[in-house]
A = this chain, B = another copy of it.
Amino acid sequence: MGAATAKLLISCPDGRGIIAAVAGFIGEHGGNIINADQHSDPRHAEFFMRVDIDLDGFDLDRTSFAPAWTKVAESYGMRWRIFWSTEIKRMAILVTKESHCLSDLLWRWKTGELNVEIPLVIGNHDMLKEHTAGHHVAYHTVPITPETRVAQEQHMLDLLRDASVDLVVLARYMQVLSPEFVDAYHARMINIHHSFLPAFAGRRPYHQAFERGVKIIGATSHYVTEDLDGGPIISQSTTHVDHGDTLDDLIRKGRDLERVVLATAVRLHVENKILVSQNKTVVFD
């Protein structure tokens, strides 16, 4: 949309003059800051920053940026990444049998709301194959059993690597992935869990919620870590239920939450608005 931009994400030990140093650097190189956001975490003395740079007039590009920037970055001990608006992320979607999140993501992608490429969908069943048919997206059925898990995960990793995937979305994918798989997409794999975590982690959260007699249900999107349902939370939402709601009503209402909460997390990630630290997310939206 409009002019080329770049987004610089920084985290570093908190200190004096960081904003001035960053803004000064960009100005010296002819760039203009069109947006910026900062956050300080006083408990861990950590500083976070997002800077959107208008590239019109900027004298650095994908090749020359890092060498020039290194001096500033090193003097403040920064971890940093830069994303150029011309780069489009490649997203894979993993599914099982539930269609609502998959359909929703495909619809947002088709209408341009979600600016990604979707080279493939992987299902451990083939039930959702037809959902991708009209979208010219490859669907790979990779069934998983206890015996085949190791080999099949490797197969999936091959598929993802061959497709140069940047982001893996678990759209109600009902298999627990191995630490090796999780590690391969550290802070690049997003899951939707159908409860307000940390409540009702694990299996069948709507059944758990129904049993407990809660008056709200929720959904949580988070980065996947080895700690099941324990990764950094990106987005959460809840809605009211009452004694008249059956388990099926909870599941129905929950679907509407899950779609939006997952799509929100995916959008934020795709727009490079999330930093992760201390098992939490800083979301510069």
Contacts and interface: CB of A to CB of B under 8 A. Distances in A.
Nearest to A214: B233
Interface stretch (A22-30, A147-155, A177-185): A22-30
A218 interface: yes
Nearest to A56: B16
Interface string A96-116: 000110010001000101000
B40 A280 contact: no
Contacts of A272: none
A44 B220 CA distance: 31
Contact of A233 (B26, B107, B212, B232): B212
Contacts of A113: 252, 255
A199 B234 CA distance: 17
Contacts of A133: 134
A208 to B, nearest CB: 8
Interface string A16-57: 110110011011000011111111100000000000000000
A236 B216 contact: yes
Contacts of A40: 34-35
Contact of A107 (B23, B27, B100): B100
Q: Give the number of times this chain occurs in the complex, counting copies.
A: 4
A214 B236 contact: yes
A80 interface: no
B35 A38 contact: yes
The residue in A103, A198, A218, A255 that gathers the most chain B C-beta atoms within 10 A of its C-beta is: A198
Interface string A226-268: 0000001111111000111000000010011000100000000
Given A36-B19, A243-B281, A234 B215 contact: yes
A106 to B, nearest CB: 10
B215 A218 contact: no
A277 B19 CA distance: 26
Contact of A32 (B16, B197, B243): B16
A213 interface: yes
Interface string A196-228: 111110000000000011111010100000000
A27 B38 contact: no
Contact of A216 (B39, B234, B238): B238
Complex A-B, nearest 8 residue pairs according to Cβ-Cβ distance, in ascending order: A213-B280, A20-B23, A199-B199, A20-B27, A215-B236, A16-B32, A243-B282, A19-B23
24 contacts: A20-B33, A35-B40, A36-B36, A37-B38, A39-B243, A99-B111, A100-B111, A103-B103, A196-B214, A197-B212, A198-B200, A213-B280, A213-B281, A215-B220, A215-B233, A215-B235, A215-B236, A216-B218, A216-B238, A243-B280, A243-B282, A243-B283, A244-B285, A256-B260
